[in-house]
Amino acid sequence: MIEDLRRSETWRVFRIQSELVEGFESLYGIGPAVSIFGSSRLTEDSPYYGHAEELGRMLSEAGFAVITGGGPGLMEAANKGAYPHKGKSVGLNIELPTEQKPNKYHDLSVSFRYFFVRKLMFIKYAMAYVIFPGGFGTLDELFESLTLVQTGKVGVNFPIILFGSSYWEGLLTWIRSTLVSERTISQEDLALIHIADKPEEVFELLREHHRMLIEDFNNNKRKS
């Protein structure tokens, strides 16, 4: 029985390796991309659905790839907006017992068994995160992205944008009144978070960020 367990764990490593390779090979070369997160439970009757769809359209028309979790709800909305336009519409689906079925608005769809491999792809191939209202999964993605930027594991110039100030205000108030006041984070860490209420605000921030990335790249190239 112990030998069987060891054999099972060993093969799990190979499955993980296989997912990593598939993710790298599938997403390589998608161009400048933005990862958009949000609830699978908010459907077309939510105003956030329309906002996510509009942002997906604006980004894709400007040539940005749009990466989502590939499922329904706000993920579907962002993919739907991006799908018919210039930038790629990408869905990184997760295999779960009761959910989720991939939405139909993908130029590229990749399925994962392991959350941590999927989350690696979100961060590796995106230049920014946009976080729409969502539940535990969305909060997990939000706080992981903040941790990666705070600890310098990704570039400090990596926008994390919360969409919908009224939805996020309670959380932000708690962060200010508890985390900052108890000194478990610094006041400066709050600057890692941007707030937006309109797709146009997000788009302009991301377009400016992309312009700065190109400028930095060209400057570094000249220096070398």
Q: Which one, of 167, 186, 166, lies nearest residue 176 by Cα?
A: 186
217 pLDDT band, cuts 50/70/90, is: low
Residues 125-147 pLDDT 10s: 999 999 999 999 999 999 999 99
> Of 94 and 101, which is predicted with more confidence?
94
Q: Is the pTM of this model over 0.75?
A: yes
| Structural domains for the chain | 22-223 (3.40.50.450)
Q: In this structure, which amino acid lies at residue 19? A: E
> Sheet harboring 108-112: ordered strands across?
108-112, 89-94, 65-68, 33-37, 129-131, 160-163, 193-196
Residues 143-170 pLDDT 10s: 999 999 999 988 667 999 999 999 999 9
17 pLDDT exceeds 80?
A: yes
Q: Residue 72 has which token pair? A: 């329904």
CA–CA separation, 21 and 16 (whole Å):
9
